[in-house]
Amino acid sequence: MDARHIPVLLAESLAWLAPERGGTFLDATLGLGGHAEALLDAAPAARLVGADRDPQALALAAARLARFADRVELVEADFGRLEERVGHRAPFAGVLADLGVSSLQLDTAGRGFSFRREGPLDMRMGRGGSTAADLVSTLSEAELTDIFRQYGEEPQARRVARAIVEARAERPIATTADLADVVRSARRPMRGEERIDPATRVFQALRIAVNEELDQLSELLDQAVRMLDHDGRLVVISYHSLEDREVKNRFRDLARGEVDPITGRTHSETRILEVLTRKPVRPGEAEVDANPRSRSARLRASRRL
């Protein structure tokens, strides 16, 4: 198994988190601990709580962070359970969320995330819940169409959904290769897409659905803001436009304060965040060359007032 994952926008994340101020930081997406290790190295006075829903990632990160054992606590939790699991360590001087999948998840055939590797059609980041194979074998054509359209922005959503429903009547779609074959033969080639696999959007959409990624993100933003100390930093790195839009809108709303429904005026004393990044921070050319997976990353940072 390839257990490497190159941390994305690392210097930028640390610059916005400013761990040299000391205090306790929450890495809500510990993964293989790349950002966490750099933070602990950069700030000897900082403590870190690392959370992830993936027990396999937590075990690998624990080994990597062993030398910081007296400053680190690792917890298995998805975003919906963060407050319950780590709330007793709040308030945090900063919260980092580096969303999406890790290279460990993507590159391990048995996790079923990738159309490039044959494995069971699973795609769950954590334990429990439905697998991608469950969704593909039970959802209706209309439900599959919705998922592909909404989460994958797949222009041929209905055509692919219909092909899946027809194929599964013949035999189960149980592996990543089974699904990739159905999608590749159903989709018509489209101009401008010559360099991406036709299964890309469908796989992304299913992954988002299996892991309820948008609901989870919404929970993360709610809970992180409640657990931040005054002047605490919230840094979120997202990898597709649906996530980035949610982060951008939530930051904007919390930075604006409550709007009086009658006068339409905003009450500035109810402002909760200050947005620190006017535009999303994106990786430079050198980073994208060295780590193509960073290509779609966008970082947004805010400060708790």
Ligand X SMILES: C[S@@+](CC[C@H](N)C(=O)[O-])C[C@H]1O[C@@H](n2cnc3c(N)ncnc32)[C@H](O)[C@@H]1O
Identify residue 165 by its one-letter amino acid code.
Answer: V
Cα(266)–Cα(128) distance, integer angstroms: 43
Q: Which of 24, 102, 175, 238 is close enough to bind ligand X by CB under 6 A?
A: 102
If binding is defined by CB under 6 A, does position 94 make contact with ligand X? no
CB of 61 to ligand X, least distance (A): 7
Identify residue 182 by its one-letter amino acid code.
Answer: V
Of 50-58, 113-121, 222-230, 264-272, which part binds ligand X (CB under 6 A)?
Answer: 50-58
Provide the 3-class DSSP secondary structure of residue 250: helix
If binding is defined by CB under 6 A, does position 7 make contact with ligand X? yes
If binding is defined by CB under 6 A, does position 50 make contact with ligand X? no
Of 27-35, 187-195, 249-257, 265-273, which part binds ligand X (CB under 6 A)?
Answer: 27-35
Of 51-59, 109-117, 221-229, 255-263, which part binds ligand X (CB under 6 A)?
Answer: 51-59
If binding is defined by CB under 6 A, does position 98 make contact with ligand X? yes
If binding is defined by CB under 6 A, does position 12 make contact with ligand X? no
Nearest to 244, CA basis, from 281, 288, 198: 281
302 neighbors 276 (Cβ within 8 angstroms)? yes
Provide the 3-class DSSP secondary structure of residue 303: strand
Beta-strand relationship, 273-275 and 92-98: unpaired
If binding is defined by CB under 6 A, does position 204 make contact with ligand X? no
If binding is defined by CB under 6 A, does position 207 make contact with ligand X? no
**Residue 52 class from Cβ within 10 Å (0-12 exposed, 13-18 middle, 19+ buried)?**
buried
Question: Which residues contact ligand X by CB under 6 A?
Answer: 5, 7, 29, 31-35, 52-54, 57, 78-79, 98-100, 102, 125, 216
